[in-house]
Amino acid sequence: AEEADVEIRDDPVSTADGVPVEVAGNVGTEADLAPAADRGADGIGLFRTEFLFLDRESPPDEDEQYETYVEALEAFPEGRVVVRTLDVGGDKPIDYLDLPEEENPFLGERGIRRSLGPDADLFETQLRALLRAAGSERGGDLAVMLPLVSTVEEVTAARERLELFADDLEREGVEYAVPEFGVMVETPSAAFMADALTDEVDFFSIGTNDLAQYVMAAERGNERVAELGDYHQPAVLRAIRATVEATEGTDVWVGMCGEMAGDPDLTELLLGLGLDELSMSAVTVPQVKRAVTETNTEDARALAERALSARTKNEVRRVLTENTES
Ligand code: PEP
Ligand code: MG
């Protein structure tokens, strides 16, 4: 019922004390674009491209992908569109890719690991399509993001490929531009190495679905360990804070695109932790926008300090409840 009462705001919002915060939508398919725009998303903070590869016999070719990315840019005439490169493996199988049987798929060959390994050809097609989309009319707002990064070398290798394919397009006389470049922070190693990673990227986006799973060693979606894998765990908050801290004094911006970003009860805390952008499924965009406008940065920072010093998940929850009641 509360949801229906929240006003939809198409304009970008700022905190009560005037700090602009980007509130973006997570999308999987072209069909998600209009609902995200209708609910007031400023742009797309996470385009999960694996959906382009599902339910078909073979992967989409370069032209098909190019058209999809351009369509996404056109759906948000003023907003940024962050396209994540293919994130398969783990819980995301694709039949024609012939993924290996692994005992622990979440700890196996997934995300960027496959793109730099057995799926190198798909990675090339996707990066070429993205370079071309970045060279299109609305391309200045395109950003490319790598999933499941755990080392600096993965990022430099991916960046080298992007530059190599840009050179190919140049030689071929095809129009292109090099898009903004970022990584998801969704492994403990990425959070620990965030300071080194800032030299390689324009932005981070924290994926709390995987980050909570890996920080807590509690499989996502497994009911038996759901309490452990909860994003209210203080260890998860500390991993977020460490990531943001690494960007301070740099030009790297930090967003969040895991489920946690769409929880309006946590917006003040997340802004207090220092996030610049929040991306979520379309449905919660209006509530989060409202929560942003009600946040005062100084109070949010104090709230984050209290939450970061909590020792248990229940203490974190108590800090949040006391804050709403006061
Ligand atoms: C995440 O891990 O938080 C995330 C946003 O990516 P996905 O849910 O697609 O793994
Ligand atoms: Mg993830």
* Closest residue by Cα to residue 112 from 127, 101, 96, 133: 127
**85-105 as b/e: b if 16+ CB within 10 A:** bbbbbbebebeebebeeeeeb
Whether the Cβ atoms of residue 106 and residue 219 lie closer than 8 Å to each other: yes
Active-site choice (166, 257, 303, 320): 257
Contacts of 31 (CB under 8 A, 6+ apart): none
pLDDT of residue 179: 98
Whose C-alpha lies nearest to ligand 1, atom 4? 207
27, two tokens:
């999308």
- Among 277, 280, 241, 276, CA closest to 260: 280
CA–CA distance, 278 with 44 (Å, rounded to integer): 10
* CA 178 to ligand 2 center in whole angstroms: 24
Position 3 scores a pLDDT of 55
Q: What is the pLDDT of residues 134-181, one digit of tens each?
A: 999 999 999 999 999 999 999 999 999 999 999 999 999 999 999 999
Q: What is the pLDDT of residue 1?
A: 42
Residue 78 CA, ligand 1 centroid: distance in Å? 25
Atom from ligand 1 closest to the CA of residue 205: 5
Tell me if 76 sits within 8 A of 41, measured CB to CB.
yes
Atom 9 of ligand 1, nearest CA residue: 48
Ligand 1, atom 3: closest residue by C-alpha: 207
Annotation marks residue 257 as catalytic: yes
Closest Cα to atom 6 of ligand 1? 207
Ligand 1 centre distance from Cα of residue 167 (Å): 31
**103 belongs to an annotated ligand binding site:** no
Q: What are phi and psi of 283, to 5 degrees?
A: -60, -35
- Does the model's pTM come out above 0.95? yes
**Residues ≥6 apart with Cβ < 8 Å to 296:** 15, 16, 17
Q: Give pLDDT, residue 49.
A: 96
Determine the pLDDT at residue 99: 87
- Establish whether residue 257 lines the binding site of ligand 1, counting it when its CB lies within 6 angstroms of any ligand atom: yes
Q: Is the CB of 210 under 6 A from ligand 1?
A: yes
Provide long-range contacts, Cβ within 8 A and 24+ apart, for 102-107: 106/213, 106/214, 106/219, 106/220
Query: Is 80 marked as binding a ligand?
Result: no
**90 torsion bin: left (phi>0), alpha (psi -120 to 50), beta (else):** left
186 lines ligand 1 (CB under 6 A): yes
What is the C-alpha separation between 280 and 260, in angstroms, rounded?
A: 8
Go through 217-249 and write b for each residue having 16 or more CB atoms within 10 A of its CB, e for each that does not: ebbbeeeeeeebbbbbbbebbebbbebbebbee
Measure the CA angle with vertex 30, ends 24 and 33; round to 5°.
30
186 CA to centre of ligand 2 in angstroms: 6
Which 8-state DSSP code applies to residue 92? B
The answer on whether 224 is annotated among ligand-binding residues is no
- The tokens describing 116, both together, are 């730099």
Residues in the chain, pLDDT under 70? 1-4, 90-93
Going from the Cα of 194 to the center of ligand 2, the distance in angstroms, rounded, reads: 17
Q: Is 261 in the pocket of ligand 1 (CB under 6 A)?
A: no
Residue for token pair 């924290």: 206
Q: Report the C-alpha gap between 218 and 224 in whole angstroms.
A: 9
Q: What are residue 185's DSSP bridge partners?
A: 206
CA distance 57 to 243: 39
